[in-house]
Structure 1
């Protein structure tokens, strides 16, 4: 039986990669909705825009009237990626993040309990856990929420809203908390694409503060594989951490990219640190491995090479 899947934010980085994965590995029919702001790009959907099992609506999830028109059928699942996700932008304008990330999620949850879908997978982030010290153990699903910037606070608020719908209405919801994704199609404002773009064009590479902030890096196709596992076998009400097991400092990542491209590390330029900058993220993904049999298969070095080679075709002669 062909499954009907509603993907929100499918013109963005992870969403578009997941749609590509879903259409390549299943017979599901995908409805994609995206508000097409700065992070949503038509070129991200080019590979599947004419696929017979795909349709697209330009819809803002925080606009209830717009959202209503996509529920012309009952979906087997909603996979909810749509979010404002740029930390720097959240510091400049928190209100936009609250509207999309909390109000938009609320409207989707209301549609769910009205019977418009059979379940919802909500894509959150490890940033809701806050920051780890150097010697702390990685975050587990039981770690308390301790968001430190408006973006992560808006996601934590949506996390709690999702939980409340499960507890109050028995809504069939599952929450995913993933570490930093990287790979093709990521917006140029994000760390790895920005470093590649600047390096390819021999421009200064900005690194916040001392550059020793640590992130756990997850290649996007590994994330997509994990989501497929959760979509098919995840338990309602559960939270699953998805991590790459690749903790690296920002400075180390920048140097690896420059080294691969044959560029001098003198291009690195330390800039004023971000306000409220979390020092370290680390994810314990033992639960999803034990219960659903998933583990990451793309090493950081392999994923970084694949990412750089893809972006090299995007960033040429100062253009993107």
Structure 2
């Protein structure tokens, strides 16, 4: 059996799709299944058992001998939520529980960290573990991910193989339920469909022109390929960046979306909201040398390739993966 937490969510459901394509069908899907809108993501997938998030610890105590691997993707990811107690419960304490169960029962573990741990990038975007305690995230979500990374690195006992993945700006199918937290591409597609135009934030810094703020956008199909690689690799434990290593501008993203939709480019610029302006990231780019150094050599989708696949094969026909 392979455990996937956050199974009904965006990345978790895409990971299950890839595992099914590779003929891994004994999937234990873990989530809070009380949100029916997310359950569409699991339709048509081969799943052996569904386990409520709150029942996983007890389930593992009974079924651990059957578990081959654990992907801990589930988390509270809302960067606009400022109740620290929610993140402590769902992102930190829950992850500690699962970490310790994986030690007790000799289960290899891959868990989702986040590029939100890097804050404004004052120390760059290098996954050097010595720098992790010095990072300054911008919100409680980023704090929670960094807190767990620090805790994991400080543990004397660790799973025999483990990896924490700092996801950068992920986009792709099955994110429709994330609303405000969905990718810019998802929002761009909806705006263009409804209005024929796209609104992007103006630059409020003299060294960037409007729409030239840059992010490392990674297609979810690349992300799950890395997860499968680590499941098969099972050595070189540690914390890894997971982006493409190439920053692209929001203008590039917008143009790619118009092209994929077969529409004329029409981009307008609006002020960045004042309440987020001083915490707005103008540049992120993952240093990917560490992952490549352990043997991951598959090329990543370019932004244009990823947007085209996402728009034409999933958004336009309203398909799930």
TM-score normalised by structure 2 residue count: 0.82
1:57-68 equivalence runs, <5 A: 57=51, 59-60=52-53, 63=54, 67-68=57-58
Residue 147, structure 1, aligned to residue 137, structure 2:
yes
- Contact persistence 2:108–2:234 (CA under 8 A): no
* Residue among 144, 148, 169 paired with 2:157: 169
Number of corresponding residues:
298
The aligned residue for residue 288 of structure 2 is 285
In the alignment, is the contact (CA less than 8 A) between 2:73 and 2:112 conserved in 1? yes
Unpaired runs of 5+ residues, structure 1, are: 316-320
* 1:80 aligned onto 2:72: yes
CA contact (8 A) 2:68 2:107 kept: yes
1:99 counterpart SS class: helix
Distance 2:48 2:297 in 1: 27
- The answer on whether the counterparts of 2:256 and 2:308 sit within 8 Å (CA) in structure 1 is no
User: Does residue 33 of the first structure (1) align with residue 27 of the second (2)?
Assistant: no
Encode CA deviations 1:220-255: one digit per residue, 9 max, x unaligned. Answer: 111111111111113264222222133122343234
Residue equivalent to 2:200: 207
Which of 84, 96, 106 pairs up with 2:86?
A: 96
- String of CA shifts for 1:259-288, please: whole Å, max 9, x gaps: 543155255544415262233211111222
| 2: CA distance, partners of 1:312 / 1:168 | 49
Q: What residue is the counterpart of 1:318 in the other structure? A: none
Provide the TM-score with structure 1 as the length reference: 0.82
Match of 1:44 in 2: 41
Q: Following the alignment from structure 2 to structure 1, what is the Cα–Cα distance between the partners of residues 35 and 202? A: 26
State the SS of the aligned residue for 1:148: coil
Q: Secondary structure at the match of 1:73?
A: helix
Output the CA distance in 2 between the equivalents of 1:39 and 1:175: 29
**Aligned equivalents of 2:137, 2:34: Cα separation in 1:** 25
Does the CA contact (< 8 Å) of 2:256 and 2:303 recur in 1? Answer: no
Structure having the higher helix fraction is 2
- For the residue of structure 1 that corresponds to 2:195, the secondary structure is coil
Could you tell me how far 1:313 is from its partner in structure 2? 2.8
Look up the match of 2:167. Answer: 178
Partner of 1:197: 190
Computed over aligned residues only, the root mean square deviation of the Cα atoms, in angstroms, reads: 2.7
Correspondence list, 1:217-296, <5 A: 217-235=217-235, 237-261=237-261, 262=263, 265-266=266-267, 268-273=269-274, 274=276, 276-296=279-299
Unaligned runs of 5+ in 2: 204-210
Does 1:299 pair with 2:302? Answer: yes
